[in-house]
Structure 1
Amino acid sequence: MFSLISVNAIAQERSKIDLKEDSKWIPEIIQRLDYFIDTTNALDIKKVSSPAFQEKFKPISDPHIVYENITDFIWIRMTVANHQQNDHYSWYFESWGYDLDEIIFYSPQENKGYFPMKAGYDYPFGDRDILHKNFNYFLNIRPGETKTYYIKIRRSYPLTFSFHLRTNDEFISHSLNEYFFLGLYYGILLLILTLHLYLVVKLKKNLYLFSSILILSSIWFSLGRDGLGFQYLWPSVPGINTITNFSSLTELFVIISTLLFSYFFVQKYKKNPKLKSLTLAAIAIMVGMFLNQNYGLVMDAIPYMIISFLILLVPFTIGLRSLLSIGRFSLSYTLAYVCLFLIIAHSYTRAFALFSDPILNWYFVHPVIIVEMVLFSLSILNQIKYLQEEYKKANLEKTTALEEKNRVTYEMNNKLHQKVKERTEEIENMAADLAQKNVVLQTTNLKLEELNTQISNINRYLKENNDKLRNNVEEITKDMALMKGFEFEDFKKVFPDKETCLKFLSELKWQQKFICKKCGYNKSTESRNHGRRCKNCNYYESPTADTLFHKLKFPIEKAFYILYLSNRKDVELTLNELSEILDLRRETCWAFKNKIAQAMEKVGHNKELSGWETLALVHLE
């Protein structure tokens, strides 16, 4: 192993940082260091720190060191000479490039080589030697010593490096101030967030919901930018650093929540359907650009930022025109939108610097975010005040309208009262006249009632006589059919169909009373075809059962006529004539006439004394 003294001697001839007697803080030492690009990514500290290798280091002339070689390791050489006499101070190296993927600080250890201290955004936060959001390392250099340190760095974008040397008391003071102001910053944001969440719960409006989401997005954006999120919220999950810081996801959330907040803010003043379409279109384009930037063709930072500005300007301009059209220009709302553009511009300080001071570059966004949140909050408060004034104005107009309505109503009521009084007097006079006429009318009504009673009695008498006359006519007609000489066509007028015949046969069969043949019960209900169904056993009996027409094979109305003719002495039709009249076969006519003759013989029927209907109820076995 070569001697560290020889290495230090070679390094002293090149770049060197002198710790003078009155020095406590040496800022921005980047251009006093040397660098080497390891394109093989295979060099170790033994090789890099060897005397023969020192000629390969070059002086750093730019805070980015190099823009290219993103995938290669950068080796940085730092030579420090402590000229201080007081050994009370300890010195620390600090890197503000807190989002380095990997940084290994090699500290010389007498003649034992170099001691590595590794950390980075790809490693858990607890792996750091000093638990600080920035990368800090103890130099362990005593008065009169000169040491050379090596730093191995892996990065994911051409960031701006910012290195500092501080004494222990300066480091503590700086850290306390830095954490104090960051705590104050997040405290203010949390207070503003509490106010907006209160409005969400109290008023339940989308505007305050998205303003709360905007504040939360800004907090997450800040936590990723200043490193406090990695230190306190996800120290054991370094993968979140990529999502939070490098993918621009937090910036996308800030943009989307600002667009939605802006949309609902303008809509509270004036409805504008066009603004909704433009806002949704802007969100869709921004999401598409985000996906392309992370998973497709990567666009350079400057064009990407300019396109983002142009997209955001469209809904902002339309919304501002809506406010101007009703005379409600909001300066706080406009300035807050300007702050959004500054935040977006700040998110690209990885690629270019807004300011020459790297500390200002890092922390510029924090006051801008506070200003934006305060301005948006003022816009909301002004809007609430405006809505309250509009509400009071509407109530005043409503009160004025009600008073006018009450006045008109009072006048109308007075006029109506006068007219009602006049009309009442007129009605009272008419009522007195009507009362006199009513007496006459009642007398007339009594007489009319007597006449109506007499007419009703006469009508009832006429109705009874008409019913009797009609019944007599029907009975006479039926008697003529039963006893006198009817032709078949005339007979069909009395018994036109099967329905009439069955009804007649049913009335004839049960004219006395019904007795069930199955159980002997004497109550029934009329069923289909005018039959009877026993209420006790549900036995059904047809009108033709146990009659001369039982199991008849031809229309019953024709059988009625044959039976009718058999009881007449003045008519003697041959079988051929009867067959032709009834349109039946000669054998059918003969069979039924023979059945009638058997029935006459069974009951001793006398044509002179009995009608033909008495034969209808004769049952032949």
Structure 2
Amino acid sequence: MIKFLSKIYFTSAANLHIKNRLLIQLLLLLFIVSPPELYSQASNNNFVELKDDMSELRVTTMFDYFLDSSSQYSIQDISGDNFQDQFNNVSDPHVVYGNLESTIWMRITIQNNQTVYKHSWYLESWGFDIRNITFYLPTPNGNYESSSAGFELPFEQRNIKHKNFNYFLDLRPSETKTYYVKVRRNYNQEFIFYLRTNEKFIEHSLNEYLLLGIYYGVLFIILIFNFYLFFKIKDTLYLYFPCLILSCIWFSLGRDGLGFQYFWPDYPWINKLSNENFIELSIILSTLLFSDRYVQKYTKSKRLWTFTYLAIFLKLLLFIVHAYLYQLHYISYILITIIILLIPLSLGLYALLKVKIYSWSYIFAYACLFLVIVYSYSKSIQLFDSPVLNWYFVYPVIFLEVILFSFSIFNQIKFLQNQYISASKETTLALEKNNQLTNELNSKLKEKVRARTEKIEKMASDLAQKNIELQTTNLKLMELNSQVTQMNNYLQENNEKLKSSVEEVTKDLALMKGLGFEDFKNVFPDKDTCFRFLSELKWKDKYHCKKCGYNKYIEGPNHGRRCRNCNYYESPTVDTLFHKLKFPIEKAFYILYLSNRKDVDLTLNELSEILELRRETCWAFKNKIMQAMEKVGHNRDLSGWETLALVHLEF
């Protein structure tokens, strides 16, 4: 009787304001005289009162619920007067545990006691476990208008195009209405229902989208930067890490509903992949590959490589068994997954410790990964009183994990850069030491040749003096003519040998100054080395296309550069001393090297013989070098020979 009179009163209250006071008195009278069992029945219905100072209210535990285990009832059955006693009060945000295949009917009665008419109220809920949620709005003719949503239905079916489930209540001041919600879900996640005014709903949505935009923006920036490093350095480390970031983004898009709203609204089946073990498998596999490559760049470990791919195999096997053969309890699944991950992690940390690498960011990033896995599977864990914080707790953990892994990469890049600098310094010191030894050897050889030359010259002078004495004495010693003649012949033979020895020593002296051709070939062994050296020398400042002036290029054959804008190809020898060179460039390098040294003065014949070139070819290129020196005012004492390489002569 009370329910019947209440329904008459509240449906006519908007048009019968004059009779309000009489009806209230009548209802109070009936309430006082009603029997105890009727009073008890009415008290089972939760009641939400909206007041002027309210703009937001969490109403999860203010619902009543009915478990439709056979999913056979319709809204007409559920909303009937004889069915209302079967509803129970919601005492826990989970409503009911288990019965995941059953339909849950939820009922809420809301009385709007606000005096302000400008507020519109919305009922909002969210959760990627809700496969199907249907909201029933009472209409003036006593029926109900339904609005269905969920991650099994296309996004376009929603009346309000929002990632959460939002429903307009159409509840004016002084009105009371009862609403019904039918829900089917996947697991025992808490239900989250809020009542919000239009203003509060907009404010909450804008703040939520702003924070999510910052979250995804930072992840996309890190993703693009690592893709750039991959295409620049061609290292798989910078491919595995973007795969991990993409997996985390996919996981987040599936969890908060933005992916369904913007990326796959017409493909609800993707939500199942986003919210189940598949995306977790992607995160773990990409992490294992990234972790192995990260450690291998510090120190090569065959053992770590073996156990990493063993862990990948075990994780794939666990995924197949859990998904298709036997579904494990989520705690067992988490423990096995963590054990699989701990094996390569422990070996990787041990390998890093052996080479004295202490990457705390790498360790804490792995800890964040474990926390994400545990929290994602343990869907009943509630760390905070706020359901919003519980829902989005995994986001800052993922964010921190990606940032820490990025710090690990930056530290590794710095470490490798320092190693490269150290190796370059060692190479430079080795070259300087080699040059010093070469100079010392040359000095010793010069001293020996000088001493030998002086000795030979002294011997020649003595022999000449004796020859004069013998010729003077020849007139006086006719009887010794035959002996003197034999001595003269002997002296002539000695002179010929001495002259030949002097020529050979002089030639050796000339060739031993600086680097010989064979030694020089050790520095520039082939044309590819020369082209690479000339390319680095030519474009050491910056590349600019000669045709269009563009500064971006791709490397072409012979270390040339091709303009990305106009496709013009420029060889390293263009506009240099080696332009249109007709003989091997490594020989031309040696001629240029010799031309810049004062202590080496080979004749064209000697240079032709050493380089196995025609005398005219050597003469022409040496003449070209002299012209280049005159053109730039080259000083052999102050400038290196390589400065002449970039001189262009017009012909």
TM-score norm. by structure 1 comes to 0.67
Choose which of 425, 435, 438 in structure 2 pairs with 1:409: 438
Residue 256 (structure 1) aligned with residue 285 (structure 2): yes
Q: Distance in 1 between the 2:302 and 2:406 partners?
A: 25
Contact 2:129–2:186 under 8 Å retained in 1: no
What secondary structure sits across from 1:345 in the alignment? Answer: helix
The structural deviation recorded for 1:112 is 2.6
2: CA distance, partners of 1:306 / 1:322: 24
Match of residue 219 from structure 1: 249
Structure 1 gaps, min length 5: 442-621
Q: Rate the CA distance shift 1:434–1:401 in 2: closer, same or farther, 3 A.
A: farther
Q: Distance in 1 between matches of 2:321 and 2:137?
A: 42
Partner Cα separation in structure 2 for residue 47 and residue 183 of structure 1:
44
Match of 2:172 in 1: 142
Gaps of 5+ in 2: 11-38, 464-488, 498-651
Indicate whether 1:318 and 2:347 are aligned: yes
Q: Does 1:67 align with 2:104?
A: no
Q: Deviations over 1:238-279 (max 9, x none)?
A: 111111113x21111111111111111111111111111111
Give the counterpart of 2:223 among 150, 174, 193: 193
The alignment status of 1:42 with 2:105, answered yes or no, reads no
Local SS of the residue matching 1:131: coil
Other structure's SS at 2:382 match: coil
Alignment of 1:335-350 (within 5 A): 335-350=364-379
Pick one of 365, 376, 383 that aligns with 2:405: 376
Q: Hey, what does 1:25 align to over in structure 2?
A: 56
Deviation per CA, 1:464-483: give whole Å up to 9, x if none. xxxxxxxxxxxxxxxxxxxx
Distance 2:360 2:95 in 1: 42
Indicate the residue corresponding to 1:113 in structure 2. 143
Number of aligned residues: 438
Match of 2:327 in 1: 298
CA–CA separation in structure 2 for the residues paired with 1:127 and 1:4 = 37
Is the 8 Å Cα contact of residues 375 and 381 (structure 2) preserved in structure 1? no
Aligned pair partner of 1:352 in 356, 366, 381: 381
* Equivalent of 1:102 in 132, 137, 140: 132
Deviation at 1:110, TM superposition (A): 2.5
1:131-166 Cα distance to aligned partner (Å, 9 max, x none): 110101011111112211111111122222111110
The DSSP-based 3-state class of the residue aligned with 1:347 is: helix
Change in Cα spacing, 1:338 to 1:226, as seen in structure 2 (3 Å) is same
How far does the alpha carbon of each residue in 1:267-304 deviate from its partner, in whole angstroms, 9 at most, with x for none?
Answer: 11111111111111111111111222211211111121
Report the Cα offset of residue 371 of structure 1.
Answer: 1.4
Which entry has the higher C-alpha Rg, 1 or 2?
Answer: 1
Q: Does 1:77 align with 2:121?
A: no
Q: 1:408 to 1:62 in 2, by over 3 A?
A: same
The match for 2:195 among 153, 160, 165 is 165
CA distance in 1, matches of 2:405, 2:180: 48
2:125/2:166 contact within 8 Å kept: yes
8 Å contact 1:105–1:151 — kept in the other structure? yes
Aligned-partner Cα distance in 2 for 1:14–1:120: 27
Letter in 2 for 1:59: N
Structure-2 separation of matches of 1:219 and 1:206? 20
Distance 1:118 1:144 in 2: 28
Give TM-score, length-normalised by structure 2: 0.64
Q: Name the amino acid aligned to 1:228.
A: L
Residue 15 of structure 1, aligned match among 46, 60, 66: 46
Instruction: State how far apart, in whole Å, the 2-side matches of 1:420 and 1:316 are.
Output: 67
1:404 Cα deviation after fit: 2.2
8 A Cα contact 1:98 1:135, kept in partner = no
1:129 to 147, 155, 159: 159
1:56-88 deviation digits (Å, cap 9, x = unpaired): 111122222222111110111111111111111
Instruction: Give the 3-state SS of the residue equivalent to 1:101 in structure 2.
Output: strand
Q: Secondary structure of 2:377's match?
A: coil
- SS at 2:130 equivalent: coil
8 Å CA contact 1:349, 1:361 repeated in 2? no
The counterpart of 1:286, out of the listed 301, 312, 315, is 315
| Residues 56, 393 of structure 1: alpha-carbon distance in 2 compared, 3 angstrom cutoff | same
Q: In 1, Cα distance between the equivalents of 2:383 and 2:5?
A: 41
Distance 1:410 1:105, change over 3 A: same
Q: CA deviation at 1:99?
A: 3.8
Check 1:4–1:311 CA distance in 2 against 1; reply closer, same or farther (3 A cut).
farther
Q: Residue type of the partner of 2:189?
A: L
Note the C-alpha offset of 1:121.
0.7
- The DSSP-based 3-state class of the residue aligned with 2:134 is strand
Aligned runs of 1:487-498 on 2, under 5 Å? Answer: none
Contact 1:124–1:237, Cα closer than 8 Å, also in 2: yes
- CA distance in structure 2 between the aligned counterparts of 1:312 and 1:420, rounded to whole angstroms: 72
C-alpha distance in structure 2 between counterparts of 1:364 and 1:297, whole Å:
30
The question of 1:268 aligning with 2:297 is answered yes
Distance 1:440 1:99, change over 3 A: closer
- Residue 107 of structure 1 contacts residue 139 of structure 1 at CA under 8 Å; is this kept in 2? yes
Shift of 1:434: 8.2
Closer, same or farther in 2 for the Cα pair 1:26/1:439, shift >3 Å?
closer
| 8 A contact 1:100–1:155 mirrored in 2 | yes
Question: Which residue, 256, 273, 296 being the options, matches 1:243?
Answer: 273
Structure 1 residues 336 and 72, CA gap change in structure 2 (3 angstroms): same
1:406 to 1:4, Cα distance in 2 relative to 1, 3 A: farther
Matched with 1:332 is 361
Question: Aligned partners of 1:182, 1:114: CA distance in 2, in Å?
Answer: 35
Q: Does the Cα contact within 8 Å between 2:137 and 2:179 map onto a contact in 1? A: yes
Q: 1:404 to 1:440 in 2, by over 3 A?
A: closer
Within the candidate set 392, 401, 407, 1:363 is matched to: 392
Take 2:191 and 2:490, find their aligned partners in 1: how far apart are those partners? 113
Report whether the alignment pairs 1:309 with 2:338: yes
Residues 113 and 434 (structure 1), Cα distance of their counterparts in 2 relative to 1, 3 Å cut? farther
Alpha-carbon spacing, 1:232–1:437, altered in 2? closer, same or farther (3 Å): same
Aligned residues: CA RMSD: 2.6
Cα 1:435–1:186 shift into 2, 3 Å: farther
| Equivalent-residue separation in structure 1 for 2:166 and 2:42 (angstroms) | 23
- 3-state secondary structure, aligned to 1:153: strand
